């Protein structure tokens, strides 16, 4: 496999049993899930590696994914909840309390709409907002970096948490993020000993909102399209794939499978 800079060794990856991964522009390529990327998910699952997508994507997307993809669970809306199937039933586990998080979202959505309508008219609420339960997503396609950072800064002044991905500003009221919910799954769902976590987990991401995961999981990969934002990341991936997006994920999957073999 072709990696930029250093390449991971077999000894570092042979014990990986849990792969956390971003979705947009990490699994997807130009907004689509390529057949070879989807096949790599099945190959990983069949090899005994549990896959957990960690996304800013909506609850609606997450329910579909946990039903249709070979995944152990999905973390959605930047850590607001995890979704899993148990005995054939799809279950949502919220960070705090579903009713509280939904109520906060309703108030926050009103505040965000007011900001967009009065001061940030070039932005718009994401199309999938109707399928969200806890956060607000704002499309950023075609916006300049300073415009995005300006709106993000304003959202923080009104008490919101903000995460910026390759496609959205995700914003919510609450003290969680991708890392916090991932840590909960590691300890509560998977029952992994904290000392074993660095050995048995890996992560793949592509954007600024993945920085906390790069800091949490030692075996961390960036797909090549992360390069333009590397300087902005407080925590960086250890390795970067030679290919971008979903093709880069295929490289990472092959590396993990080869190490396991």
Residues 191 and 201 in one domain: yes
Name 162's bridge partners: 171
Both tokens of residue 163? 């995460």
Number of compact structural domains in the chain: 2
Q: What is the pLDDT of residues 112-137, one digit of tens each?
A: 999 999 999 999 999 999 999 999 99
Strands 74-76 and 81-86: antiparallel
Strands 239-241 and 3-4: antiparallel
**pLDDT greater than 80 at residue 10:** yes
Which of 205, 199, 160, 203 has the alpha carbon at shortest distance from 182? 203
pLDDT at 251: 98
Name the pLDDT band for 142 (thresholds 50, 70, 90).
confident
What is the three-class DSSP state of 47? coil
**Alpha carbons 29 and 244: distance in angstroms, whole number:** 8
Residues 15 and 37 in one domain: yes
Name the pLDDT band for 1 (thresholds 50, 70, 90).
low
Q: What is the dihedral of CA 148, 151, 152, 155, to 10 degrees?
A: -160
Q: What is the pLDDT of residues 200-242, one digit of tens each?
A: 999 999 999 999 999 999 999 999 999 999 999 999 999 999 9
pLDDT at 97: 94
CB 133 within 8 A of CB 102: yes
* Residue 96: φ, ψ to 5°: -120, -80
Which of 148, 172, 175, 185 has the alpha carbon at shortest distance from 77? 172
**Alpha carbons 175 and 161: distance in angstroms, whole number:** 8
**Which of 153, 172, 191 is the C-terminal boundary of a domain?**
172
Q: What is the pLDDT of residues 14-34, one digit of tens each?
A: 999 999 999 999 999 999 999
What separation in angstroms does the CA of 193 have from each of 23, 76, 109, 196, 258? 26, 24, 39, 5, 25
pLDDT at 162: 97
Which of 181, 95, 203, 154 has the alpha carbon at shortest distance from 138? 154
**Which of 172, 189, 224 is the C-terminal boundary of a domain?**
172
Residues 12 and 86 in one domain: yes
Which of 210, 221, 205 has the alpha carbon at shortest distance from 256? 221
pLDDT at 24: 96
**Which of 172, 199, 232 is the C-terminal boundary of a domain?**
172
Q: What is the DSSP secondary structure assignment for residue 86, as one 8-state letter?
A: E
Q: Residue 256: which domain range?
A: 3-96+176-260
pLDDT at 149: 95
Residues 181 and 252 in one domain: yes
DSSP assignment of 197-244 = HHHHEEEEE-SGGGHHHHHH-SSEEE-GGGGGGGGG-SS--SEEESS-
Q: What is the pLDDT of residues 162-175, one digit of tens each?
A: 999 999 999 999 99
């Amino acid at each position: 496999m072709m990696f930029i800079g250093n390449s991971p060794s077999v000894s570092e990856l042979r014990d990986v049993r849990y792969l956390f991964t971003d979705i947009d522009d990490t699994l997807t390529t130009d907004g689509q899930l390529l057949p070879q990327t989807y096949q790599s998910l099945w190959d990983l699952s069949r090899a005994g590696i549990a896959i957990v997508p960690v996304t800013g994507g909506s609850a609606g997307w997450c329910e579909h994914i946990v039903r249709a993809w070979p995944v152990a669970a999905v973390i959605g809306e930047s850590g607001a909840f995890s979704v899993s199937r148990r005995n054939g039933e799809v279950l949502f586990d919220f960070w705090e309390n579903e009713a509280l998080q939904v109520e906060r979202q309703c108030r926050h959505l009103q505040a965000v709409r007011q900001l967009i309508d009065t001061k940030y008219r070039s932005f718009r609420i994401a199309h999938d907002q109707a399928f969200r339960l806890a956060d607000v997503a704002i499309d950023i396609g075609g916006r300049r970096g300073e415009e995005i950072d300006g709106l993000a800064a304003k959202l923080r002044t009104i008490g919101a948490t903000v995460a910026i991905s390759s496609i959205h500003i995700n914003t919510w009221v609450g003290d969680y993020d991708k890392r916090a919910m991932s840590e909960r799954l590691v300890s509560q769902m998977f029952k992994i000993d904290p000392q074993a976590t660095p050995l048995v987990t890996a992560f793949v991401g592509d954007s600024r909102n993945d920085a906390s995961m790069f800091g949490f999981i030692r075996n961390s990969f960036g797909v090549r399209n992360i390069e333009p934002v590397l300087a902005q990341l407080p925590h960086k991936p250890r390795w970067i794939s030679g290919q971008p997006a979903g093709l880069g994920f295929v490289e990472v999957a092959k590396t993990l499978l080869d190490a396991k073999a």
